[in-house]
Amino acid sequence: MKHVTDLAIFGGTPAFTEKLHVGRPNIGNREKLLERINDMLDRRWLTNNGPFVQELERKIEARLGVKHCVLMCNGTIALEILARAVGLKGEVIVPSFTFVATPHSLQWQEITPVFCDIDPATHTLDPRRVEELITPRTTGILAVHLWSRPCDIDALTAIAKKRNLKLIFDASHAFDCSYGSRMIGNFGDAEVFSFHGTKFFNTLEGGAVTTNDDALAKKLRLMKNFGFAGYDDVIYIGTNGKMNEMCAAMGLVGLDDLSHFITTNQRNYESYQRYLRGLPGVSLLPYSEVNRSNYQYVVLEIDESLSGIHRDYLLELLHAENVIARRYFYPGCHRMEPYRSYFPHAGLLLPETDKMAQRVLVLPTGTAVSDEHIKAICNVLRQGIENAAAIKERWSTRNQAALQRHAEPPAIPAAR
């Protein structure tokens, strides 16, 4: 593209004929999946701890080196059941820079999420801020591993032990990732994974809790199945959090192709690195060489003072080109309901969260994305930044015209 009029938002032809989404599902071997589905149908065992669920739990335990994997119907229910199982109540410290399911899993059970600021270098909980928020009502910390990168596990573990708090992790982004030489899934009292269709490893819909605590695992298994300990023996309060056999079959097939998914993600990430190099005001979030990563997110920070254009302008440019980039996790959970009504002044303690919510731009990756796709996406970003002044001028003119149209009084119908 040579001129701003070549951009789709100003009348040009979109770079893509079909929408390219963040989190488009990776699909494993279809023949193997259909074989498993036929096996399931022949057995007529569709749910209630079937053989596929048991097999997937054992394979995840082996892959992560953890004693217990308890599969569930989704990651949110897994968080809710875990919060109840470890005895969270009162107040729990949690980041606001996360998907809203994280605080919802607490608030749903009338546990107060206390929003804590992030470290701008990691995008995860700042341990120094965590300590400042602990009160006599605090019973735990719910930390989040973000963008496939672990939070400061050592510092948070030290705080939890010193203050006698429960420590659980939302590891929805961090399946098959490590913290040093130890796999995510082994830390705190327990960790929760999401296997939603948008995750690089999915079970259509699903989640899991992993833990090395035998008693906690036993309680989780009771709670996800109404408290049943046998055919007619209910010994604990519970709900229906079970994963079904269809979802487990999808997971088993995906697990077979996991290395391919990760290799593709890493290759895409390196392509973005190459095509974005030298673009002012655009920082591609790095992955550590010390920790193992799944590379499932391509995260940019847009610094308007250097790029000359706000992140939201670039978002609109990309959407017009059918690149459905996302501004995770805008505007921050503390600015969503019910939290903005409950805690109207929370933003005063979350300056880094508010800044990050204005800067982050997440781009498509996965097996649905090719090198040519990535090159075209980066060309749009480059065009937007190199022509920032002209784009903002055209945008301003367009918006003024739209406002003027809305301001004109409606026509008065002729008298009859």
pTM value is: 0.93
Residue 415 has pLDDT above 50, yes or no: no
56 contacts 252 by C-beta, under 8 angstroms: yes
For residue 1, is pLDDT > 60?
no
Residue range 340-351: mean pLDDT, rounded: 97
* Residue 178, beta-bridge partner list: 183
The percentage of residues in the chain with a pLDDT greater than 90, rounded to a whole number, is 91
- How far, in Å, CA of 409 to CA of 416, rounded? 21
Alpha-carbon gap, residue 243 to 225, rounded angstroms: 10
Kindly state the tokens that stand for 47.
């749910």
- In whole angstroms, what is the distance from residue 193 CA to residue 132 CA? 28
Instruction: Indicate the average pLDDT of the chain.
Output: 95
pLDDT (tens digit per residue) in 328-343: 999 999 999 999 999 9
Q: pLDDT tens for residues 12-46?
A: 999 999 999 999 999 999 999 999 999 999 999 99
Q: pLDDT digits over 257-266, tens only?
A: 999 999 999 9
User: What is the pLDDT averaged over residues 191-200?
Assistant: 97
Cα–Cα distance list, 175 to 33, 82, 219, 280, 296 (Å): 21, 18, 23, 32, 10
How many CA atoms lie less than 13 Å away from 258 in the CB half-sphere? 18
Whether the Cβ atoms of residue 415 and residue 312 lie closer than 8 Å to each other: no
**68-72 β-sheet, strand order:** 68-72, 207-211, 190-194, 166-170, 138-144, 91-95, 112-116
Domains observed in the chain: 4-25+258-325+364-400 (3.90.1150.10), 30-256 (3.40.640.10)
Task: Look at residue 413 and tell me whether its pLDDT is greater than 70.
Answer: no
| pLDDT-derived band at 402, boundaries 50, 70, 90 | low
160-181 pLDDT, tens per residue? 999 999 999 999 999 999 999 9
The yes-or-no verdict on residue 314 having pLDDT over 90 is: yes
Q: How confident is the model at residue 397 (pLDDT cuts 50, 70, 90)?
A: confident
For the chain, give the percent of residues with pLDDT over 70. 95
Give the mean pLDDT of 241-264.
98
Q: What angle do CA 203, 209, 215 make, to 5 degrees?
A: 145
Among all chains, which residue has been given the structure tokens 């019910």? 338
Per the CB < 8 A criterion, the answer to whether 68 and 211 are in contact is yes
